[in-house]
Chain A
Amino acid sequence: MRDLTNEIVEFIRRTSTDLPKDVEERLRAAVEKEAPGSAARGALETILKNVELSRQNSTPICQDTGTPIFYVRYPEGWSTRKLRQMIRDAMEIATQKSYMRPNAVDAIYDKNTGNNLGGDDFPYIHFEEVDADEPLTIELMLKGGGCENVGVQYSLPDNTLGAGRDLAGVRKVVLDAVQKAQGQGCAPGILGVAIGGDRGSSYIKSKEILFGKIGERNPDPEVAALEERLTQEANQLGIGPMGFGGQTTVIDTKITGLHRLPASYFVSVSYMCWAYRRRKMVVKGEEVIYD
């Protein structure tokens, strides 16, 4: 099994410093919707300058390099123990190289480990086995703390919002989440919504769905329509980039469903900031492809 530590360091560098094109395109389109000279337009223009500068200088797009969330699909026969070690070693090197900020703080002793490694869960790594003839795929999402803090979970029915256990209720709580977040999650944001599951699986799914491309819709036409509608209605709230007021508050909404207990109906909303850092690397034999 080959050592991929250096390739993973490069992968982390790209994820932290080079915003994916689909996100950048949406941000560019959003500029045109804001009035010339407005604070909202100024914010988006600064954001785009920053995106170019980070790419050019290999410096982090955002100083909060976030929670590193890895999803690894490994061919049958690979050692997850060795892959985990490579990812952890790469994370330490990427931190030394200042692609990542030291971000792992022991919650009980209030101590920053200084190398982005903490216990078994930092970085977060999810493994899944695929057939032996398939390539190794690693996906990485860097999710900042500001947007993570405005994530929220509802247990339906919610009487204050008049939200029942159906898609109409889901619509209400998601709009409430966006209104409560204001600009604090670094709007314009992207919403990951999971319906069902238990509290834990629901939150995890609401993040997992954010690995998808912008504009990818749920295969169910009714859910897909709700995704579109939520983006459009969230933008009617007028919160705007950075909460300065304006036309674009949410760039895209993604909804997925899980099985739930008869007793529970959770709706988990993960808010992703505009610095939507997620990338994929694929290893096919000797070849390493970064998307």
Chain B
Amino acid sequence: MKTIHLPASDEVIRELRVGEPVLLNGVMVTGRDAAHKWMVETFIKKTREPKGDDLQVYEELKKLLNGGIIYHCGPVVSRDENGEYRFLAAGPTTSIREEPYQADVMKHFNVKGVIGKGGMGAKTLKGCQETPGVYLHAIGGAASYIAQSVTKVLGVFKLEFGVPEALWVIEVKDFPAVVTMDSHGGSQHAAIDEASKKVLEELLAKPY
């Protein structure tokens, strides 16, 4: 199985094709609904004024996300007596909710990969071609298993969004995922949607 070290180069990303399983190593950042809305409104479309530590976090994110990965995940986190965080359960959340934002975020921060579940749509697929980047599918619900590949929680931004919605900076070792959208316009999700639609039409035409 192919191992990807983060940050990843354009060359490494362009070699990846739909269907390929990978193991990810290095630093990644979790971000989901609140984080994507906040990033796009505050730093990309600039429809809201930066507040509090927004600009400081932005500077940190620019470094972390350049060549890096966003993981659509709202983890279960414990904190020990020394204040150290640990991920107990950390599977992917449904990615399609970030469809309005994802391509813009990828291009703005030079994000090389997005991990989630369920796949994304045409706008993100185009973003994958332009950045270039890939969409990586993790196994939904396999939260305890995936949490084992999170070796360290390095920090957290925007904890005021709540534990699931905060941006957690994590170090991962051999994080398992499958490429389901690549930088060449390939999407396994589009293919399966199309094929299942044909079967549905046949089934609907059958008499009861």
A interface vs B, CB < 8 Å? 39, 42-43, 46-47, 49-50, 53-54, 57, 59-65, 98, 100-103, 105, 110-112, 114, 144-146, 149, 161-162, 167-168, 171-172, 175-176, 179, 182-184, 186, 233, 236-240, 242-245, 273-275
Contacts and interface: CB of A to CB of B under 8 A. Distances in A.
A182 B200 contact: no
Interface of B: 19, 21, 34, 73-78, 88-91, 93-94, 96, 117-119, 137, 139-148, 161-165, 176, 178, 180, 188-189, 192-193, 195-197, 199-200, 203-204, 208
Given A62-B89, A161-B204, A167-B208, 4 more contacts: A60-B143, A112-B161, A176-B200, A237-B196
Given A53-B144, A59-B147, A102-B163, A183 B119 contact: yes
A98 B204 contact: no
A3 B146 CA distance: 37
25 contacts: A49-B145, A61-B143, A62-B89, A63-B73, A63-B91, A63-B164, A64-B91, A98-B76, A101-B74, A101-B75, A102-B163, A146-B94, A146-B118, A146-B140, A168-B208, A176-B200, A179-B200, A182-B196, A236-B203, A238-B192, A239-B192, A242-B137, A243-B119, A244-B192, A275-B141
B189 to A, nearest CB: 7
A46 B189 contact: no
Contact of A61 (B19, B141, B189, B197): B141
Nearest to B87: A63
Contact of A50 (B142, B162, B163, B192): B142
Nearest to B180: A244
A220 B142 CA distance: 37
B140 A273 contact: yes
A96 B75 CA distance: 14
A234 to B, nearest CB: 9
B117 A59 contact: no
B193 A182 contact: yes
Contacts of A176: 200, 204
A255 to B, nearest CB: 14
A75 to B, nearest CB: 35
Contacts of B94: 145-146, 149, 184
Nearest to A186: B140
A101 B73 CA distance: 12
A182 B204 contact: no
A59 B148 CA distance: 11
A179 B201 CA distance: 10
Given A101-B164, A233-B203, A184 B21 contact: no
A245 B178 CA distance: 13
B204 A175 contact: yes
Contacts of A182: 118-119, 189, 192-193, 196
Nearest to B74: A63
Nearest to B139: A46
A243 B142 contact: no
A62 B143 contact: yes
A235 to B, nearest CB: 10
Contacts of A239: 192, 196
B96 A184 contact: yes
Contact of A59 (B74, B88, B204): B88
Nearest 7 Cβ contacts at the A-B interface: A112-B162, A168-B208, A184-B118, A50-B145, A50-B142, A63-B89, A60-B89
Contacts of B34: 110
B74 A64 contact: yes
Contacts of A62: 89, 91, 140-141, 143
